[in-house]
Amino acid sequence: MGYPKDIKIIDTMLGIPTHADRSGWYDSFRPLLNDQQSRDMFKMPAQYMFKDIPEASSDVSDFVGWTIAQMDKHNIDKAMVGFNEDETSRQAAKDYPNRFLFDLPCNPNNGMDEVRRVKRLHAEYGIKSVSVFPAGTCPQVAINDARMYPLYACCVELDIPIVLNVGVPGPRIPMHTQKVEHLDEVCWFFPELKVVMRHGAEPWEDLAVKLMIKYPNLYYSTSAFAPKHYPKAIIDYANTRGADKIIYAGYFPMGLSLDRIFKDMENVPLKDEVWPKFLRENAMKLFKLGDYA
pTM of the model: 0.94
CB 206 within 8 A of CB 242: no
Asked whether the predicted pLDDT for residue 102 surpasses 90, the reply is: yes
pLDDT (mean) for 129-139: 97
Give the pLDDT band (50/70/90) at residue 292: confident
Query: Where does residue 244 fall: left (phi above 0), alpha (psi -120 to 50 degrees), or beta otherwise?
Result: alpha
The more confidently predicted of residues 255 and 49 is 255
Asked whether the predicted pLDDT for residue 286 surpasses 80, the reply is: yes
Give the pLDDT band (50/70/90) at residue 44: low
Give the pLDDT band (50/70/90) at residue 24: low
Whole-angstrom Cα Rg for the chain: 18
Asked whether the predicted pLDDT for residue 132 surpasses 70, the reply is: yes
Asked whether the predicted pLDDT for residue 20 surpasses 80, the reply is: no
pLDDT (mean) for 87-93: 96
Pick from 54-58, 180-184, 245-249: least confident: 54-58
Pick from 40-44, 74-78, 80-84, 162-166: least confident: 40-44
pLDDT (mean) for 33-48: 74
pLDDT (mean) for 244-248: 98
Pick from 75-79, 233-237, 254-258, 286-290: least confident: 254-258
Asked whether the predicted pLDDT for residue 208 surpasses 90, the reply is: yes
Supply the pLDDT for residue 30.
84
pLDDT (mean) for 245-268: 94
Give the pLDDT band (50/70/90) at residue 57: low
Supply the pLDDT for residue 105.
97
